[in-house]
A = this chain, B = another copy of it.
Amino acid sequence: MATKKMWGGRFEGKNSDVTERLSMSVHYDSRLYRQDIKGSKVHAEMLKDMGILTHDEFKSIVSGLDTVLKEIESGDFNFRSDYEDIHMNIEARLTELIGDAGRKLHTARSRNDQVAVDTRLYIREETEKIESLLKKFILRLADIAEQQRETVMAGYTHMQIAQPVRLSQHLLAHAWALSRDLKRFETFRNMHNLCPLGVGALAGVNYVNNRKFLAEHLGFAGVTPNSMDTVADRDYIADILYASSLLGVHLSRICEELVLWSTYEFNYIRLSDQVTTGSSIMPQKKNPDLAELIRGKSGRLTGNLVSLLTVMKGLPLTYNRDMQEDKEPLFDTVDTVLLCLEGMIEMFKDIVFNKERMSETLRGNFSTATDIADYLVQKGVPFRTSHEIVGSIVGYCEKEKRNFFELNLEELRKFSNAFDEDVLINLDPAGSTERKQSEGGTSLSSVLNQIESIREIVV
């Protein structure tokens, strides 16, 4: 811990041990090594073009950075916590390897813009991975929806059976929600695809540098417009934390259903042995752990977002060290989202749907009551009145412990003269889905249209 710090010119005492421990970040920001080296190479090339580095110095830096990269990837790199972060670690090792040329690399650059460019490159890459898994998951849902297009089940509101729907309509509902997540990630990725490098510590640099060159060679669509904002901004992190947090909520809703549908009582699905686990004490248990774990992950995604918003609240411009607290929630969120999406895809690989049980719950309840009410409307009864009539019939059935399907016409007529023989076909749950001819409804043609649309969006 005795090394002279790179910023140590004016300092006499050494940092306390606790300062070192609170300051250091290399144990987590080391994962930015590729981005850091990439950025440094392009920066060095710009310095060469500006005449600050000779051609030889530039070549020496590039080859030194290649060595560092190799050392890190082979596990031979000695990360030193007294160098605090990945940036200082790489620069120090570079200088060790190539001498004074290494000490020139930080010209016209600050850790503030260096950290920003590394993080933005990282987010861009990881967001692309998230998008790719999201697409894969959406397509899987669409494929299952296609296979299950004839499966009819109960649609729920308030967790009470409401109306018959196609299983595919239900799965596509989730797919559409996920397509909004996809849109959100894409939007944020594009919004922040601007190069921060070259703005220095906060004010710009004392050189006529070429930020457009840096941007182009690092794949950015342009440069950030204001040096102080560039250093003070963490929107690019907040946005991905939020997009992930909302995605997490969507996944938690799907997982809630997987858990629910796996119960003995619902018995709608069977998850494979690959994604379920047992109990250390109860030998019969087969638990939907994966679904539960992913549902639970929603908590940390929201927690990470709250962390960052709380950190940033009330900070004056420009950089404040509090902002070092941005990276751990970012890394944790990215890892979590990638893992959860993999888990979702895996669960839907071998999921088995129990159509018989789905059909059973549909018939046991009054799932077509609305159809009967609409039938009365067609016979000229105002909707509010027909609603009351059918409500009374339901009340009667419950009291008499009878099923809707058992009532004959005569009995129905006691509630309204508008009932006629054609009422009986309106009691059929399967047929009910086909009567939902409204756009986006649960009829077969609507479902097939949706599958086509969502595949187009995702590809």
Complex CA–CA separation, A395 to B278 (angstroms): 12
Q: Are A382 and B104 within 8 A (Cβ)?
A: yes
Who on chain B is nearest to A319 by CB?
A: B157
Q: State whether B235 touches A286 (Cβ < 8 A).
A: no
Bound Cα distance A184, B315 (Å) = 21
Question: B residues within 8 A CB of A315?
Answer: 253, 256
Query: A173 vs B262: C-alpha distance in the bound complex, in angstroms?
Result: 24
Q: In angstroms, how far is the closest chain B Cβ from the Cβ of A186?
A: 11
Task: Identify 17 new A-B residue pairs, CB closer than 8 A, beyond the known A157-B279, A161-B264, A284-B367.
Answer: A13-B272, A18-B290, A18-B343, A23-B290, A103-B383, A106-B383, A155-B228, A157-B201, A162-B203, A198-B439, A206-B436, A226-B440, A253-B313, A281-B373, A300-B325, A303-B304, A313-B313
Q: Is the CB of A19 within 8 A of B277?
A: yes
Of all chain B residues, which has the CB nearest A215? B439
Residues of chain B within 8 A (CB-CB) of A321 are 158, 287, 289, 292-293, 296
Chain B residues, Cβ within 8 Å of A10:
278, 283-284, 286, 391-392, 394-395, 398
| A interface SS class | helix
Q: How many copies does the complex hold?
A: 4
Contact of A317 among B227, B257, B290 (CB under 8 A): B257
Of the residues B201, B304, B306, contact of A162 by C-beta under 8 Å: B201
Q: Are A204 and B159 in contact (CB under 8 A)?
A: no
A223 to chain B, nearest CB (A): 6
A405 CB-CB contact with B under 8 Å: no
Would you give 25 A-B contacts (Cβ < 8 Å), ordered by A? A14-B273, A16-B275, A155-B203, A156-B318, A163-B201, A187-B191, A199-B440, A204-B442, A206-B374, A223-B439, A252-B314, A283-B370, A283-B386, A283-B387, A284-B366, A284-B394, A295-B322, A296-B311, A298-B313, A300-B307, A300-B311, A302-B313, A303-B304, A313-B313, A313-B314
Per-residue contact bits, chain A 184-213, to B (CB 8 Å; 1 contact, 0 not): 100100010000001111111111110110
Chain B residue with Cβ nearest A274: B16
CA distance in complex: A170, B202 (Å): 10
Stretch at the interface among A107-115, A124-132, A417-425: A107-115
The residues of B that contact A295 with a CB separation of less than 8 Å are 314, 322
Q: Is the CB of A160 within 8 A of B95?
A: no
Verify if A459 is at the interface (C-beta below 8 Å from B). no
A232 in the interface, Cβ–Cβ < 8 Å?
yes
Which A residues from 151 to 178 make CB contacts under 8 A with B? 154-165, 169-170, 172-174, 176-177
